[in-house]
Amino acid sequence: MRFDIVTLFPDCFNSVLSSGLLGKALAKQIAQVHLVNPRDFTTDKHRKVDDEPYGGGVGMLMKPEPIFAAVESLPILPRREVILMSPQGQTINQPLFRELAENYDQLIVICGHYEGVDERVSYLVTREVSLGDFVLTGGEIPAMALINGVMRLLPGTVGKVESLKAESFESGLLDYPQYTRPADFRGWKVPNVLLSGNHAEIAKWRFAQQLKRTRLRRPDLLQEWEEEK
């Protein structure tokens, strides 16, 4: 998969893209990430990418011309999505990650800044996506979350595919508690069932824990899960 990130701050992505599973996935060419700065597509001597909003108001808006030029400079793959990171967009969740990982070859991600972008950028965009119901200084952090969530689902990124299926949100429920050695740490002991070797009982316990944890922490998810069942 090809990711094209349109951002005024490309350096923000360096450590994220060179670390951990993402760094390994890029080294193995499971995915490519290209960083494009709209400032490189300005035509005035000051390389201006923002201006005051018509009608007045606080703050500055990103101008449409550099964003259009940046996106139009990119190659076009058959299955592509042009995403604007925006507080007004669809909230990121696991089904969205799966949809993007399975159905697209190219994701162009536009990171807004200042008070937002000129509304005419919407003519470029096929989807607006939000990290949540809050406002950050720019779209870079949400874009990093999007890249991470999608790339880890691409075949070859995660060594054990089974581990992806047993995570929170994949089944509609939160994940069950997990433990490793030592079996007794400061008096906190691993549940006996996990030491029993009885896989049927372990599976039953884990499912019960998923229900319990989801009921306590995310009753909204449990309700959705129950309605689907």
* Region of poorest pLDDT, from 34-48, 115-129, 162-176, 193-207: 162-176
Name the burial class of residue 108, with classes exposed (0-12), middle (13-18) and buried (19+) by CB atoms within 10 angstroms of its CB.
buried
Mean pLDDT of 37-59: 93
- Give pLDDT tens digits for 53-91: 999 888 899 999 999 999 999 999 999 999 999 999 999
- From CA 200, how far away is CA 204, in angstroms rounded? 6
Asked if residue 6 belongs to a known ligand binding site, the reply is: no
Return the CATH architecture of domain 171-228: Orthogonal Bundle (1.10)
Domain with CATH 1.10.1270.20 in the chain: 171-228
Domain with CATH 3.40.1280.10 in the chain: 2-151
Asked if residue 187 belongs to a known ligand binding site, the reply is: no
Q: Find the radius of gyration of the CA atoms of the chain.
A: 22
The answer to whether residue 150 scores a pLDDT higher than 60 is: yes
Q: How confident is the model at residue 187 (pLDDT cuts 50, 70, 90)?
A: very high
pLDDT score recorded for residue 165 = 58
Q: Which CATH number among 2.60.260.20, 3.40.50.2300, 3.40.1280.10, 3.40.718.10 corresponds to the domain 2-151?
A: 3.40.1280.10
Mean pLDDT of 36-55: 95
Mean pLDDT of 120-139: 95
Write 93-102 long-range contacts (CB < 8 A, 24+).
Answer: 93/169, 94/149, 94/169, 94/170, 96/129, 96/149, 97/146, 97/149, 97/150, 97/153, 98/153, 100/146, 100/150, 101/1, 101/150, 101/151, 101/153, 101/154, 102/153
Q: Is the pTM of this model over 0.85?
A: yes
pLDDT score recorded for residue 186 = 94
Identify the sign of the CA torsion 164, 170, 171, 174.
Answer: positive
Tokens of 32: 């490519």
Asked if residue 222 belongs to a known ligand binding site, the reply is: no
Strands 2-6 and 106-111: parallel
Asked if residue 133 belongs to a known ligand binding site, the reply is: yes
Tokens of 22: 């993402």
Asked if residue 136 belongs to a known ligand binding site, the reply is: yes
- Give pLDDT tens digits for 154-170: 999 986 555 565 555 67
DSSP string, 49-77: -EEPPTT--SS-EE-HHHHHHHHHTS---
Asked if residue 194 belongs to a known ligand binding site, the reply is: no
pLDDT score recorded for residue 163 = 57
Asked if residue 17 belongs to a known ligand binding site, the reply is: no
Residues of the chain above pLDDT 70, percent:
95
Q: What is the mean pLDDT of the chain?
A: 93
- From CA 207, how far away is CA 214, in angstroms rounded? 11
